[in-house]
Amino acid sequence: MENTATDFIRDIVREDLRLGKNDGKVQTRWPPEPNGYIHVGHAKGFLLAYEIAQEFGGTFNLRFDDTNPAKEEQEFVDGIIEDMRWLGVDWRSVFFASDYFEQLYEWAELLIEAGKAYVCDLSPEEVSAYRGTAIEKDGQVITLPGKDSPYRNRSPEENLSLFRRMRAGEFPDGARTLRAKIDMAHPNLNMRDPVMYRILRATHHRQGDAWCIYPTYDWAHGQSDAIEGVTHSTCDLGFENHRPLYDWFLDQLPIRTRPRQIEYGRLNLTHTVTSKRWLRQLVEGGHVSGWDDPRMPTLRGMRRRGYTPEGIRAFVRATGVTKSQGIVDAALLEHFQRQDLNRTSPRVMAVLDPVRLVVTNYPEGEVEWLDAVNNPEDPSAGTRKVPFSRVLFIEREDFLLDPPSKFFRLAPGREVRLRYAYFVRCVDVVQDAHGEIIEIRCTYDPATRGGDAPDGRKVKATLHWVSAAHAVDLEARLYDDLFTNDDPTEVAAGQTWLDNLNPSSLVVACGKGEPSLRDARPAERFQFERKGYFCLDPDSSADRVVVNRTVGLRDTWAKSQATPG
RNA sequence: UAGGGCGUAGCCAAGCGGAAAGGCAGCGGCCUUUGGAGCCGCCAUUCGGAGGUUCGAAUCCUCCCGCCCUAACCA
């Protein structure tokens, strides 16, 4: 794979290698919690870890961070694996933090025996108060120094006994915790005797009811990295101030390898949200059709929309790896999608807003099968036959009764080319009682068959079209930004972030497509000439063709119309 | 408030003491049987601000300003 990318994390890996750390090995991992489906932001995370392992001849593993049975489900582990595979990522092994519960438990006893952990009977509110959690005072937020828990000085023997009874299920949920004995005055709140175990009776998706105490993230994460032999443990900036704790735990344990946590800024995209909490609300609130709604930034949403794995990877790569927190313009994602789709998508003609065009001097009942190029970017894609006949459909917006000067398309008396077919000249227009155009009447020049005029005359426009008698009906789902503003988390006074939803993020059009579309398979991608990239939706059936617009073509004409002047 | 981070063009982002890469967006033009694609050109006298060190600073030092994160028995 061609990837000369470099960034501060790769610099660290390179330097560690140069210094001979970790016996010259590189091992990375990606540790999702199986509590939802993954999105582009996650893709940045695992692509980074995966590609680093590849570039440095190392190992990449997938590990599910399943330490909270209350939120996790098998459905999501399956979904995450499926989505990662689709993006083209693979791994040496799939691990589960829950497989380390016994080891973690033993290590916890080790800490207790060393006087480094204790069982605490404080309630969550009390823990928070003793910790010196920030409070508001005189309009100012202040942080108080922490106070020792009254249970902090229990003997190792008593702690061990209590901890074993916790595991044995002798106490109710939430009654006690095991806490690390670090420093209640530490400026980093994470170091003020963090909780290592909580009592929680919930059925774990893999462990069933084997446990009623569960390790917290902090007590499980670094240890899992160490057990697996991870050398470089990447995560997002949100975990920066957990690093001292990550290191502290590792310092107490008899481990053979020493993982290093490195944080990077997460990927945010304009006009969408990338937070499982918000995405879940969109799904559960019915604002989208599901986790795979084509407007969702989830990998399955993007897949259904027709985005290509290559395009997504190129996009993620282009955004770089830094510690700054930015919002990347969604136009960059679209750019990489168009770039990939342009060279790979077969072209097809489809009309999204059809209006009848009758070629008055073309023989009734006659059909010609004309040659059309499948992909001008790829000669090996070959050609296909497209039927031409007397009655056609063209795009309603390609005709104007009274065109402005810059409008090159069809108008009364004007001649244009029908792609791969003939030059036609508009000779008449039929309107209904409301002035709505119901039929455009043209004559064609038989000498221009294929689209070239032997006399060398030029036309200013080439239109796409379909033969009415041969057309397949299309339900075209046209997507726009899910949210109207760049950053949907910015909420106007008196509103919620849901008020930022774009009411026209989905528009359904009833179109007409060339007959080859009848044989399309779900997920198959096309370029509808002059309109955009589309793919077949799984909602399609034998008598219904449903397509999703992945992304439109760049349209400088529409743009110039949108901003007159 | 404390602790941890971050500030280079509209958006990402290189740069690490010798004198502002690149991509996206935008704007012109060429070309075109997709107003697509492609091609060419333009787009930061300046790097959050102010001082200082230096022959020389986006890069080093000092102070200031702004923004973000954390303060769950979530991850």
Q: What is the pLDDT of residues A107-122, one digit of tens each?
A: 999 999 999 999 999 9
Quote the pLDDT of residue A280: 93
A44, A63, A260, A276: the active-site residue? A276
A4: pLDDT strictly greater than 60: no
A495: pLDDT strictly greater than 90: no
ipTM over 0.85: yes
Nucleotide in closest CA–C1' contact with A189: B71
A497: pLDDT strictly greater than 70: yes
Q: What is the pLDDT of residues A299-326, one digit of tens each?
A: 999 999 999 999 999 999 999 999 999 8
CA of A154 to C1' of B25 (A): 63
CA of A300 to C1' of B44 (A): 40
Tell me the average pLDDT across A202-230.
97
Average pLDDT, chain A: 95
Q: What is the pLDDT of residues A164-174, one digit of tens each?
A: 999 999 999 99
Nucleotide in closest CA–C1' contact with A268: B12
Please indicate whether residue A313 is annotated as part of the active site: no
Structure tokens at A68: 């909270």
Report the nearest residue to nucleotide B15, CA vs C1': A7
Beta-carbon neighbour count of residue A523 at 10 Å?
13
Nucleotide in closest CA–C1' contact with A420: B33
- HEC per residue, A361-430: CCCCCCCEEEEEECCCCCHHHCEEEEEECCEEEEEHHHECCCCCCCCCCECCCCEEEECCCCEEEEEEEE
Structure tokens at A475: 């339900």
Please indicate whether residue A518 is annotated as part of the active site: no
A2: pLDDT strictly greater than 50: no
Which bases of chain B are under 7 A from a protein CB atom?
1-8, 10-16, 22-27, 33-38, 68-75
CA of A315 to C1' of B35 (A): 26
pLDDT confidence tier of residue A138, bands split at 50, 70 and 90: low
Please report, for residues A173, A375, A383, A419, A420, the alpha-carbon distance to residue A370 in angstroms, rounded to integers and kept in the order given.
74, 16, 10, 10, 7
Beta-carbon neighbour count of residue A477 at 10 Å?
19
pLDDT confidence tier of residue A141, bands split at 50, 70 and 90: confident
CA of A40 to C1' of B19 (A): 39
Quote the pLDDT of residue A542: 85
A266, A356, A425, A449: the active-site residue? A266
Please indicate whether residue A266 is annotated as part of the active site: yes
Quote the pLDDT of residue A560: 87
CA of A261 to C1' of B65 (A): 31
Q: What is the pLDDT of residues A430-471, one digit of tens each?
A: 999 999 999 999 999 999 999 999 999 999 999 999 999 999
Quote the pLDDT of residue A423: 98
A10, A29, A33, A131: the active-site residue? A33
A1: pLDDT strictly greater than 50: no
Percent of chain A with pLDDT over 90: 92
Distance CA A274, CA A297 (A): 7
